Amino acid sequence: MGKSHDEQLRALGARLADALGDNLVTLMLFGSRIRPGYAVEHGDLNLFVIVRDASTAALRPVEAAVAQWLKRRDTHPPVVVSEDEWRASADVFPIEVEDMREAHELLAGTDPFDGIQTSPTDLRHELERELRGKLLQLRAAYVAAAPDGKATTRLLLDSVGTFFVLMRALVRLVGGTPGADPETLVRQAAKTAGLDAGAFTWVVEKISGHTVQALRPYDPVGARYVDEIEKMARFVDRYPPAEVASGLPGPGAD
């Protein structure tokens, strides 16, 4: 029996660390499979690498390892950034920074989050931009997929990971701590933004490894999913509500 995907990824990490030598600052894993509630086939696990020098010449020692990994179709390429780029990213990518901070596995090097701070203002700006952009893509893809139950299934499974990241950002935006598993997270996001949590039940059950009913053409499961993502985008667009702006308590996330 061959190595599992996770074992192969860790082996690649070890090869990268050896090849980078003193240029390596941090090597870690991040992704949904570090969180509970995801079946292996529906979760992801990725490598994040911080180096002192990210020039093409400095990264030449890892070209062969990365090229071999890119031949696979079931994973993403490693994320490689310089130490300076990482330190300057907190205001541009607060969603990603906080998501990785919350669920990661340090394989080598130093803690990348020491001294890294993000702001609610930057978080809200990125969240609104990402939600609006991903909603436009989702809506167009749904129009094309709706007549085919299998295509709708692929759309929901391919997109839900991204929207879970944005739901976690939504919960953080209102001062909450995102639930580790998808079911709890959906419940929190629904309470925060007034969503119908039931619209996500099918996809939560599916990615958790449970048996679910196959989707039919124009299945209402797909339509409800898209409609609630739109509702979440409208909530963020109008946030903070008047009571928060005036200093009164806003909506809770627990």
Place of tokens 């391919």: 158
- What end-to-end distance do the CA atoms of the chain give, in Å? 44
124 and 221 assigned to the same domain: yes
Last residue of some domain: 84, 109, 134? 109
Question: What's the CA gap between 96 and 30, in Å, rounded?
Answer: 10
pLDDT (0 to 100) of residue 77:
82
User: Is residue 13 one of the residues assigned to a domain?
Assistant: yes
144 and 101 assigned to the same domain: no
pTM above 0.85, yes or no: yes
pLDDT in tens, 110-130: 999 999 999 999 999 999 999
Name the residue among 75, 67, 65 with its Cα closest to residue 24.
65
pLDDT in tens, 132-182: 999 999 999 999 999 999 999 999 999 999 999 999 999 999 999 999 899
pLDDT (0 to 100) of residue 3:
55
Name all contacts of 139-145 with Cβ < 8 Å and 24+ positions apart: 139/226, 139/230, 142/222, 142/223, 142/226, 145/222
| Tokens at 93, concatenated | 């990518």
Question: What's the CA gap between 217 and 76, in Å, rounded?
Answer: 31
User: Is residue 250 one of the residues assigned to a domain?
Assistant: no
pLDDT (0 to 100) of residue 248:
44
How many CA atoms within 13 Å lie on the side-chain side of 103?
A: 20
Q: Which amino acid is at 118?
A: T
How many CA atoms within 13 Å lie on the side-chain side of 251?
A: 20
Taking residue 7's Cβ as centre, other Cβ atoms within 10 Å add up to 10
pLDDT at residue 249 above 60? no
User: Is residue 226 one of the residues assigned to a domain?
Assistant: yes
pLDDT (0 to 100) of residue 116:
95
Contact (Cβ atoms closer than 8 angstroms) between residue 98 and residue 129: no
SS (H, E, C) 200-229: HHHHHHHHCCCCCCCCCCCCHHHHHHHHHH
Domain with 204 in it: 120-245
pLDDT (0 to 100) of residue 35:
79
Last residue of some domain: 60, 90, 109? 109
Could you tell me the CATH number of the domain that includes residue 98? 3.30.460.10
pLDDT (0 to 100) of residue 1:
40
Name the residue among 50, 149, 147, 28 with its Cα closest to residue 99.
28
Place of tokens 């071999």: 68
User: Is residue 129 one of the residues assigned to a domain?
Assistant: yes
92 and 128 assigned to the same domain: no
pLDDT (0 to 100) of residue 38:
67
Whole-number average pLDDT of the chain:
89
Last residue of some domain: 39, 74, 109? 109
Contacts of 120 (CB under 8 A, 6+ apart): 173
User: Is residue 200 one of the residues assigned to a domain?
Assistant: yes
Contact (Cβ atoms closer than 8 angstroms) between residue 25 and residue 110: yes
Looking at the structure of the chain, the number of domains it has is 2
User: Is residue 114 one of the residues assigned to a domain?
Assistant: no
Question: What's the CA gap between 102 and 247, in Å, rounded?
Answer: 28
pLDDT in tens, 183-227: 999 999 999 999 999 999 999 999 888 999 999 999 999 999 999
Q: Considering Cα of 26, then 166, then 235, then 180, what sign does the dihedral take?
A: negative
131 and 45 assigned to the same domain: no
pLDDT (0 to 100) of residue 13:
84
